[in-house]
Structure 1
Amino acid sequence: MTVLDPAATAIRLFDSERDLHFFPIRHHSPACALHLREALRAIRPATVLIEGPVDFEPLITELLAPGVVPPVAMVALPDGAKKGRGGTTYYPICRHSPEFIAIREASELGATVRFIDLPSRHAAMLSDRRHRPDQPLLPMREVMFDRGAYVDAMCARTGFRDGFALWDGLFEARARGTDWRGFFASVGAYCSALRAASDPDELQTDGTLPREAMMRACIQDAIAARTGPIAVVTGGFHTPALIDAQAESVRPAGAAARSNAWLIRYDFRALDRLNGYGAGLPLPGFYERVWQRLIGDGGETGDSLTEDILVGFRAHLIESEPALAFSFPTLRSMVETARRLAELRGLSEPGRTELFDALQSSAIKEEIEVGAHPLLAAFTTYLQGDRLGDLPPGSRLPPLIERARAEARSFGLSLEDAVAKTRELDIYRKSRHGQTSRFLHAMRLVAPPFAERLKGPDRVHGFRADMLMETWTYAWSPAVEAALIERAADGETVRDVAATILIRRLGDLEREGQCNNAAAAFNLLSIAFDAGIGSAADTLVAAVSTAVGADTNLLRLTNALVMGQALDSRAKAMQSDGTVKAFADLLPPLLDRLARRIAELLPDLAAVNADTVGEAIACLAALAEAMADPDPPFPARPLRDALQGLMAAQLDPQLTGAVIALAALIGLVDEAEAGRRLSAALAGAFERPGDAIRTLSGVMALAPQLFVNDSSVITAIDNLFGAVDDQGFLDLLPQLRMAFAELSPQETDKVAAIVAAAHGAGEDDIALLQQVPDARVLTDHLALSERLRGQWQADGLAAWLGPAP
């Protein structure tokens, strides 16, 4: 493969006749940034053209405002229905981004700055086939620097292990040089070779060619309006397509700039190539340290960068991960190894690759898979960095963002970096913790990337409603700010926006034909309660009441009752909060109506058959959970009356067992009466053993203790099995296994002891039963017994067999 001559490339890059200078860069490269700074100071351009979406141009002034601390990002929000992180376009900037240096130097020189790429929301900017839906959209893409035929060939020739190490060795190692022309000529030659090895069809489909058409048109506009030298700063891959371009009369369709862009904070974790970011170099925290050294802003102590990094890493381990910390002699060995590796590889000083190699050879003695050792993982995280940029007060941001940040800080939540943190909240006994919980719940609605609840009361099922503590993990990140920007039109406070979201979801239920879904409506009400949204309560309660009156699905209604009961319980435990009390006062009439609606529909269970009995039993199980409260927040009498009526009705056998169990659980009948009813039901199904097992299964689903505690029920089941032959027993065995699956091991042992005693078996016999084979093995053994019986009878040995079964 031919490598272009850097000297020839330099002639093309710096056109003195047209006073037009092209600077091919790699995004976020400290070497490119430093050489670009020197080049711009030398040529003093009147216009600086930068590869960046044209609709981001109004943000240039904000980017240069005092108090802006990179990393930051220019973002463009989706205009249509596509929302979320995957639909937002990000253009990140850090202190060592060549684009940031170009903007800053142009400002100091009084030059005009223009962005020349397509608008951020143009179809060609969104067409990268490698983009994942859960990742941000990025107009800067540099995967061609990482792999491909040319990169592989260069790595094989030079001995570098991959495209990142190759770039570092060829270009980052030359950052301290003074020949900016020679540096960019080499970068240009390298990028021309990358371009020559690329697939032309892919350049069309991934949006590269339409973008370059836009850039050429903008360059021609600048030439036509020139007032002095022009500098063009673009990704090196694009430069060959721009140098010798002729004027183009037509820009790509849809190239008119549209501004829906904002400047937000960004962080090194999101900027890392190892986390899926499509441009720049891995571990931006490392290159930030390199940049500080290059510009003399590293707070030098006289030590080398290698020493600073490795000493700092050791101190970090001692403080945060002492089990991984290494000794001082090992540290000295690492520093020396990194220096010698750099000399061996012809580098002026160790780079990122040399640091990792030195760490692995000096501090890790055992054999490992590449990248699998925890010490290497810790070093990767350390060099990645956790810096979160900042914007000055008064930045052009929606009020929602600043109010969300202020409220988070008021609750003691740390927003200084993007590292995930954990917070324990005593939500019932500490008022401030309860307020913090409601803020975090509201943020889950408004900006989901911010917080996740790991533990806490289960507001949907209610069985953990009395849990006192919540555990949260949270982190302020660029995705959080982007989410808040997207919601800014919905309100100026987190709770106002959360209320808007819930009202909108209520509308979605109606559009989806779910406005009569009591469980879905109650779920929205529960979310509103958790988030402390009093402003949406009246509207949501009215919608829930309407849904309760119209819903005919018993499972949804009983699930709603469980949610409502849990909600009432939590509200009573937090009555000290005025907002919660006002919310709680709305619940009793709603729960009253819900209970009466369920009672009204319970008689319909008489029409349930075997195909639909599963849902009916789930309804009764939810009702059992709700009515277990000795003082429920709803009227129990209508429900008890309706269940009394069901007990007298002719029901599906499985439902019969469940109704008997529920009646015993809520005290409608005592356990003795429940046992008698169950024994009678089993006796009535004597001719239909399958129905008897289904009756037992219904009991087991709700109250297996009724079966365990009543010997008459066990006797009835035992008699039932005694009346069926071997094949009949095998046919019933799968159903029986499912029914008994509800029993605990202790309950199973208790039943076994009662049955064994009834048949005169002792403890030794019971011990043998602990090794019961599965159904297939038992079938094989019975078949073998029958064959042996037939053979013995044929041999005249029938008397040995005893009485026939």
Structure 2
Amino acid sequence: MTPGAPIAVPPAAGASGVALLGVRHHGPGSARAVRAALDAYRPGTVLIEGPPEADPLVGLAAEDGMRPPVALLAHVLDDPGRAAFWPFAEFSPEWVAIQWAAGHGVPVTFIDLPAAHSLALRTTPDEQDEAPEEGSPDGGEAAQALRFDPLAVLAETAGYDDPERWWEDAVEHRSSSGDDPLAPFAALAEAMGALREMYGDGGQEDDPAREAHMRLRIRDARRTHDRVAVVCGAWHVPALARPATATADRQLLKGLPKVKVEMTWVPWTHRRLSRHSGYGAGIDSPGWYGHLFGARDRPVTRWMTKVAGLLRAEDLPVSSAHVIEAVRLADTLAAMRGRPLAGLSETTDAIRAVMCDGSDVPLALIRDRLVVGDVLGEVPDSAPAVPLARDLTREQRRLRLKPEALERELELDLRKETDAGRSRLLHRLRLLGVDWGEQVRSRAGTGTFRESWRLCWEPELAIRVAEAGVWGTTLLAAATAKAEEGAVHATALADVTALAERCLVAGLPDALPVVMRVLADRAALETDVGHLAQALPALVRSARYGDVRGTDSEALHKVAEGLAERVCIGLPPACVGLDADGAAEMRGHAEAAHRAIGLLQADGLLDRWAVMLRGVAERDGAIPGLLRGSAARLLMDDGRLDEESAARLMALALSPGTPSAESAAWLEGFLAGGGMLLIHDERLLALVDGWLAAVPAAAFNDVLPLLRRTFGEFESGVRRTVGELVRRGGAGRPETAAGETVPGFGAGFDEERVAAALPVLRLLLGHTGDGPDATGENG
């Protein structure tokens, strides 16, 4: 074949030349058609749209440890964040072509533009997020660039309003018996050629270079093989069949930027194949397509059986009769709609009507678990990987913590060695920016020896692991280096204390001295009391973790005590002259410091802190009322302020000489811990009621929002009881001296109503004799 000769689609199997098999990425119908075409055409080599750097890795696809969905991952050597994926599912035509070639001893070559060029051309973060599968005729990135969907145009031409439905009818559900295996590809190539003539060659900015490179690789293959099969996106077929000279193609590739890249296989998920995940060449229902590809016969019946199994696992009443009726209804709907086989829309309608009683709620579960699915692929150990990724794999196996695509919760007991190791692993990964797990509130208890995590492995985490590889070759070394670097470059004291806590929970003994040295230096120079108070809680938590995790936290205790002393001394002057926003922020810092000092249990510190709080609570108007009220409430909760003193402070704060807004702010600070005080102390309630009644009309509108915010934080039962107490003018008991009762409380013991309930009570308690219990006497 001469360099300038045209490349054409052969009219039938057996013709020599090049067979251009234009496909829809991740389409089971295309995958079956590709397999049938390869069986009939018997090429000497198979060329696939993909990065040529993956040629040395293609042999791994035939190993036992490889289970799709998987993806080729390419990243820039000195900038791992610049990366791209090329995903493959079991039903991807490219994957089927690779498996066919491996089974027949035929060489496979990737012919797309090298990743070294495509990654160099990608300059914006958004462009680096998705794999470059631009040639998909199903509305992928090329279609977006063209502002039209080729698949939608073809569907509309055929009289369909849904492109997915047209594709299923035309390709996925099409029987190939008796047909020329290459005929579908010739028809699709003709359709794409007409679309490119109508709308132009558009596409992505690098499409001309990509197609030029593909043509050059096809010419190279033709020099050594008589029969060449090319599996590529259908959109590219007209450009590959178009006459072009090798000189013109090389000119298009001249001067392209280039970077050094590494490439490997990584696990992928069905969820990341879906269009909803943002993947440009994605599909709406990867789980359904996987089922269609894997079901050799009766796909609708087998699908209904899967759905029934899922609903039964969720304790929904679904029987075999439901399955039979759902299959019949789906087939009937397909016949009424003129479809060759019941598709996803027919099966969904049948499931809704028969198995879900018309409800869409179970359908959401079916879509999540089956239509999309949480299948996670596997790659063999022989696949290339950065050293950090290999260390992560070893740790996952040692700790029996397998990555899963399905989100799950993990409860850890840090007193157990394995659970403690899992905790350290997850904390180290989070410190490195690999958010495999998210720590959540534990349901099992509140002890410091418990941790709860929500785990979900996303394929993008492979990039994060590669990025973190610059810090070290093992998780311990990388996390240590990252923590030390973070401490040196931290801009706030609270960041350093938070980092100290993370070092402790992640088990980084070598990083902790560096962090503590930076912490001591920063704490000595820090003069802002708010910053000191903000940094204290994390430091105290770190000191407490030492007891549970068996680490030495003596240095943390000393720094925490020194920090607490400085907050205790500097807080009163720092509270003077603050505006409303500053007072609210300082109140949060003071309350957090109060809790931290209570946990620190340092000799005499709590007493000194209480003396400081009393000084703030009894200070004049120089300190905002919000802070004075909050200090009084903290003292009262700790039992260091009696009711008499609290009533005196409230009376002063609510006196006529105090501005109404200041009084309302004091109430907000004092009642923030809850309104039970007002229920159990009539004096406090009477003070609040009297003050509110005396608020001038001009100031009432200014005070009302503060009061609504304060009382809105009370529980509904507390608000109702306070209202009833104010209405009847009393507190502390359900009945007043005049006999008026609070709604819900009776005026006395009603023996007749009690006797009516006794028979049922006896049955519940098992008393069936004729003694006193049976008659209700003495009972």
- Residue 97 (1) aligns with residue 68 (2): no
Q: Which moved more, 1:332-341 or 1:615-624?
A: 332-341
Match of 1:321 in 2: 314
Once residues 33 and 709 of structure 2 are traced to their aligned partners in structure 1, the CA distance between those partners, rounded to angstroms, is 74
Match of 2:506 in 1: 531
TM-score when scaled to structure 2?
0.78
Q: How does 1:705-716 map to 2 (within 5 A)?
A: none
Q: How far off its partner does 1:179 sit?
A: 1.7
8 Å Cα contact 1:565-1:632 kept in structure 2: no
Residue in structure 1 matched with residue 439 of structure 2 by the alignment? 453
Report the CA distance shift for 1:355/1:447 in structure 2 as closer, same or farther (over 3 A): farther
Other structure's SS at 1:389 match: coil
1:534 partner SS: coil
Alpha-carbon contact 1:450-1:474 (below 8 Å) kept: yes
Q: Equivalents in 2 of 1:426, 1:336: separation in Å?
A: 51
Cα displacement (A) at 1:193: 3.5
| Superposed counterparts of 1:636-651, under 5 Å | 636=606, 639=609, 642=612, 651=622
Q: What code does the residue aligned with 2:479 have?
A: A
Q: Give the Cα–Cα distance (whole angstroms) in 1 for the partners of residues 317 and 123 of structure 2.
A: 41
How much has 1:20 moved relative to structure 2? 3.2
RMSD across aligned C-alpha pairs, in angstroms? 4.5
Q: What code does the residue aligned with 1:170 have?
A: A
Most deviating of 737-746 and 467-476: 737-746
Per-residue deviation at 1:52? 0.9
Partners in 2 of 1:445 and 1:486 — Cα distance? Answer: 13
The residue number in structure 2 matching 1:506 is 487
- Flag structure 1 segments of 5+ consecutive residues without an equivalent: 1-7, 459-463, 575-579, 769-805
Task: Identify the residue that residue 237 of structure 2 maps to in structure 1.
Answer: 239
The unaligned stretches of length 5 or more in structure 2 are 1-6, 744-779
Distance 2:729 2:436 in 1: 61
Q: Which amino acid aligns with 1:215?
A: M
Q: Which amino acid aligns with 1:540?
A: V
Whether the 8 Å contact between 1:608 and 1:616 is mirrored in structure 2 is: no
Aligned to 1:180, what secondary structure does the other structure show? coil
Encode CA deviations 1:319-339: one digit per residue, 9 max, x unaligned: x134152x3334333444555
CA contact 1:708–1:747 (8 Å) conserved in 2: no
CA contact (8 A) 1:624 1:665 kept: no
Indicate the residue corresponding to 1:167 in structure 2.
167
Letter of the 1:216 counterpart: R
Name the CA shift for 1:344/1:544 in 2 (closer, same or farther; >3 Å): same
- The letter of the residue matching 2:86 is Y
Task: Write the mapping of 1:140-539 to structure 2, written as runs, cut at 5 A.
Answer: 140=134, 142=136, 144=138, 151-152=151-152, 154-155=154-155, 158=158, 160=160, 162-172=162-172, 173-177=174-178, 179-198=180-199, 203-205=203-205, 207-222=206-221, 225-226=223-224, 228-247=226-245, 248=248, 249-252=250-253, 253-254=255-256, 256=258, 258-273=260-275, 275-279=277-281, 281-292=283-294, 304-318=298-312, 320-323=313-316, 325=318, 327-339=319-331, 350=342, 352=344, 355-356=347-348, 358-360=350-352, 363=355, 366=358, 372=360, 374-375=362-363, 377-378=365-366, 381-415=369-403, 417-427=404-414, 430-446=416-432, 448-456=434-442, 466=447, 469-509=450-490, 514=491, 517-539=492-514
1:686 is paired with a residue whose SS is coil
CA 134–623 in structure 1, closer or farther in 2 if over 3 Å, else same: farther
Task: For 1:526, give the aligned amino acid.
Answer: E
* Cα distance change on mapping 1:92 and 1:675 into 2, 3 Å: same
From 579, 589, 592, give the equivalent of 1:610: 579
Residue identity in the other structure for 1:208: D
CA 166–636 in structure 1, closer or farther in 2 if over 3 Å, else same = same
CA contact (8 A) 2:442 2:451 kept: yes
Further displaced range: 50-59 or 147-156: 147-156
State the aligned residue count.
Answer: 718
The one-letter code sitting in structure 2 at the alignment partner of 1:601 is G
Q: Distance in 1 between matches of 2:237 and 2:501?
A: 57
Report the CA distance between 1:29 and its aligned residue.
3.1
CA contact (8 A) 2:412 2:452 kept: yes
Partner residue, 1:672: 644
Equivalent AA in structure 1 for residue 483 of structure 2: L
Name which of structure 1's ranges 389-398 and 604-613 shifts more when overlaid on structure 2.
604-613
Q: Aligned to 1:404, what secondary structure does the other structure show?
A: helix
Structure 1 residue 364, shift from structure 2 partner: 5.8
- Amino acid across the alignment from 1:617: R
Taking a change above 3 Å as real, the CA distance of residues 705 and 543 of structure 1, as seen in their structure-2 partners, is farther
Distance 1:585-1:144 versus aligned 2 partners, 3 A rule: same
User: Percent identity over the alignment?
Assistant: 24
Distance 1:479 1:305, change over 3 A: same
Change (3 A) 1:724 1:94: closer
Instruction: Provide the C-alpha distance between the structure 2 equivalents of 1:713 and 1:432, rounded to a whole number of angstroms.
Output: 53
Alignment TM-score, normalising by the size of structure 1: 0.75
Check whether the contact 2:674–2:714 (CA below 8 A) recurs between aligned residues. Answer: no
Deviation at 1:243, TM superposition (A): 0.8
Is the 2:436–2:458 contact (alpha carbons within 8 Å) kept by the matching residues of 1? yes
- Separation in 2, partners of 1:755, 1:227: 97
Go from structure 1 to structure 2 and tell me whether the alpha carbon gap of 1:287 and 1:55 turns closer, same or farther (over 3 Å shift): same
For 1:634 and 1:250, how far apart are their aligned partners in 2? 81
1:752–1:766 Cα contact (<8 Å) kept: no
**Contact kept in structure 1, 2:116 and 2:261, CA below 8 Å:** no
**Gap change, CA 1:187 and 1:377, over 3 Å in 2:** farther
Judge conservation of contact 2:139–2:149 (CA < 8 Å) in 1: no
Give the drift of 1:263.
0.8
| 2:539 is the counterpart of 1:558 | no
| Cα distance in 2 between the residues matched to 1:752 and 1:108 | 83
**Cα deviations across residues 344-397 of structure 1 (Å, max 9, x unaligned)?**
77776555555445545655664x6xxx45247516732544432222233322
The Cα of 1:82 is off from its aligned counterpart by: 8.2
**Aligned match of 1:789:** none
Deviation per CA, 1:695-748: give whole Å up to 9, x if none.
444444579788887777667767767876544556655555556666666489
Q: Which amino acid aligns with 1:332?
A: I
Secondary structure, counterpart of 1:260 in structure 2: strand
Instruction: Choose the corresponding residue for 1:652, options 623, 627, 650.
Output: 623
Pairwise CA distance, 1:524: 1.7
Structure 1 pair 764/567, CA: closer, same or farther in 2 (3 Å)?
farther
Specify whether residues 566 and 213 from structure 1 end up closer, same or farther in structure 2 by C-alpha distance, changes over 3 A only: same
Which one of the candidate residues 102, 114, 117 is aligned to 1:119? 114
Aligned residue type for 1:243: A
Q: Give the aligned residue type for 2:601.
A: D
| 2: CA distance, partners of 1:755 / 1:344 | 69
3-state SS of the aligned residue for 1:68? coil
Change (3 A) 1:190 1:435: same
Hey, what's the Cα distance between the residues in 2 that align with 1:254 and 1:421?
Answer: 45
